[in-house]
Amino acid sequence: MGNWKMNGLKAHLGEVETIGGIAADHREVDVGLCVPATLIAAAAQVRGGAFIGAQDCHANASGAHTGCLSGAMLAEAGASWTIVGHSERRQDQGESNSDVAAKALAAKAAGLNVILCVGESLDVRDAGDAEAVVSAQLLASLPDGAAADWLAIAYEPIWAIGTGRIPTMEAVDVMHRALRGALASRIGAEADGMRILYGGSMNGDNAAELMAIADVDGGLVGGASLTAGKFAPIIEAADGVVA
Ligand SMILES: O=C[C@H](O)COP(=O)(O)O
């Protein structure tokens, strides 16, 4: 899944169209782009084989929430997915774990699939507490009724986002196993099928190795999803892992 964050104008819809065409050639892989809300409707017109997603969803279905968008609005515009709980929103908008769980439930109620993000700061990583802290964050953010047919998790170490740095493959493996275990402690066997994506400086050079890790089921990709040229090798790497 690509996350365009606060990037993209109508001039960039050609990238959506090209990525949609590549997605159509890789049907074994679920490919999507979470574009700015202003582009959802137009992107949905040219999406080809790619899903279109939003980047946030309000916890309420309607009401006096100036500047916010409900799940129904996002779905009507053409989104079939939304991200909730991205670290940039947790930080910039002060979203708490319970806010994130409420947003996920509201998105599900509107028929959206959801990617719920978790991840640790560099201080937490350096202190050696990352698995415990992120597992606790996940369980505190997990909505009631969490199930693999509508919810995916994205593990994004905050210090790896947009920095070109990634954890060692071993560290990713250890974290994803821990998150799978945390999920299992709450939802039992349903955890086996829930996709856990890795995010944070994934690119065409590291995607294959990251996605070959047993409990890594895909990627949440920022910068390298902005152009078809950079996103295509990641889609191809995912297809190679599926094959
Ligand atoms: O949502 C995507 C992530 O924050 C990763 O961003 P990045 O690939 O630019 O590091």
Atom 4 of ligand 1, residue of closest alpha carbon: 161
64 Cα: distance to centroid of ligand 1 (angstroms): 31
Tokens of 101: 């769980």
151 Cα: distance to centroid of ligand 1 (angstroms): 19
Query: Any known ligand binding at 5?
Result: yes
DSSP states of 199-232: ESS--TTTHHHHHTSTT---EEBSGGGSSHHHHH
Assess whether the C-beta atom of 218 lies below 6 angstroms from ligand 1. no
Per-residue pLDDT tens over the stretch 79-121: 999 999 999 999 999 999 999 999 999 999 999 999 999 999 9
Pocket lining: 225 vs ligand 1, CB cutoff 6 Å: no
Angle at CA 121, nearest 5°, toward 118 and 127? 120
What is the number of alpha carbons within 13 Å of residue 183 lying toward its C-beta?
A: 27
The rounded Å distance from CA 165 to ligand 1 centre is: 11
Residue positions annotated with a catalytic role: 86, 156
Distance CA 81, CA 112 (A): 5
224 CA closest ligand 1 atom index: 8
pLDDT (0 to 100) of residue 49: 98
Q: Parallel, antiparallel, or unpaired for β 151-155 and 113-118?
A: parallel
Q: By CB neighbour count within 10 A (0-12 exposed, 13-18 middle, 19+ buried), where does 221 fall? A: buried
Spatial contact of 62 and 94, defined as CB atoms under 8 Å apart = no
Q: What is the ipTM of this complex?
A: 0.99
pLDDT per residue over 171-191, tens digit each? Answer: 999 999 999 999 999 999 999
Residue 140, Ramachandran bin (φ over 0: left; ψ between -120 and 50: alpha; else beta):
alpha
The contacts found for 183-188 with CB under 8 angstroms, 24 or more apart, are 183/138, 183/142, 183/146, 183/153, 185/139, 186/139, 186/142, 186/146, 187/142, 187/146, 187/147
- From the list 64, 89, 91, 62, the residue with the least C-alpha distance to 76 is 62
Instruction: Please give the domain boundaries of the chain with CATH numbers for all domains.
Output: 2-242 (3.20.20.70)
- Interval 28-86: pLDDT, tens: 999 999 999 999 999 999 999 999 999 999 999 999 999 999 999 999 999 999 999 99
Q: How many residues does the chain have?
A: 243
